[in-house]
Amino acid sequence: MSTSFAPTQQAEVVKLGQHIGARIDGVTLGGDLASTTVDLIRAALAEHKVIFFRGQHHLDEDGQYAFAEQLGTPTTPHPTVTSRGVKTLAIDSEYGKANSWHSDVTFVDRIPKASILRAVALPEYGGTTVWASSTAAYNALPDSLKALTESLRAVHTNVYDYAATAAEKIADEKTTEYRAEFQSTYFETEHPVVRIHPVTGEKTLVLGHFVKGFVGLSSKESQTVFNLLQERVTKLENTTRWSWQLGDVAIWDNRATQHYAVADYDEQYRRLERITLAGDIPVGVDGTSSRSIAGDASSYSVIDEN
């Protein structure tokens, strides 16, 4: 659905926290935004890492996609899950709950640069989502840990997805089916633990629960280091929490954040629809890029350096 845009001069960026989060008021999302409005959204996303829009009730799947095209190149909905949508990926509570800290699709070499999530059906209570700034987490590290993280590389795989965890806890037919589809093609990628953001030039941590282990470390050592660094990312001061309303849209910089969907809504139904935007292949502090070990992501996403 296409609608006219609100002039940029009416837009207001409302900061929500010191390190992460802002709400943008006075903009009606759609496929015909002025270039100045698109520039404002891009700048707010780069600065605040996750941005929110209220009252976008006019948007449907086509409108969400048309808006996404103004910010980048949409990927296919998912590298392996192909049965949950053509333009968007359904984040549907009937197939599991994303209650684990992660960045989207880090098991491929070309990590999406951003995700756009639209609320479709919400529970009467609960179901908030929390985002954490992995840039703020890196910046707060002592020099000794900065040196350690900059020298580390981690292996990410799609067998460590949040959906798999949910399926183990709720072994019903739908979650088992989703898990099987998610793992139908195996992906494994080695990423630098610290990457250089291609837009801001900031250093940011590449972690989350797709991490299988760190190169050169044993499983036990990897778990210890992972817990140490992951706790730095999810420190409350690095987070912002959003209480969803129908008509809400959230956009986050997937290269500088992790997120967690809080599963505190009992058996109520919750559905949101996500579009990811094509990103680049991460580059570490030493100039070495990520490398694919297993799986070909070219049919999922082009490589977008911007």
Phi first, then psi: give them for residue 86, nearest 5 degrees.
-100, -45
Pick the catalytic residue: 161, 259, 270, 280?
Answer: 259
Reply yes or no on whether 104 is catalytic: yes
Q: Give dist(CA 75, CA 69) in Å, integer.
A: 10
CA–CA gap between residue 273 and residue 100 (Å, rounded): 18
57 is catalytic: no
| Residue 239: its H or E element | strand 239-242
Residue-wise DSSP of 4-54? PPPPGGG-EEEE-SSSS-EEEES---STT--HHHHHHHHHHHHHHSEEEE-
Question: Count of CB atoms within 10 A of residue 111's CB?
Answer: 26
> Pick the catalytic residue: 19, 102, 191, 209?
102
Cβ–Cβ < 8 Å for 161, 186? no
CB 16 within 8 A of CB 240: yes
Q: Is 274 a catalytic residue?
A: yes
48 included as an active-site residue: no
Active-site choice (23, 48, 92, 104): 104
Which of 48, 209, 274, 280 is labelled catalytic? 274
Please report where in the chains the tokens 């195996």 appear, as a residue.
186
Contact criterion met (CB below 8 Å) for 149 and 194: yes
Catalytic residues: 102, 104, 259, 274
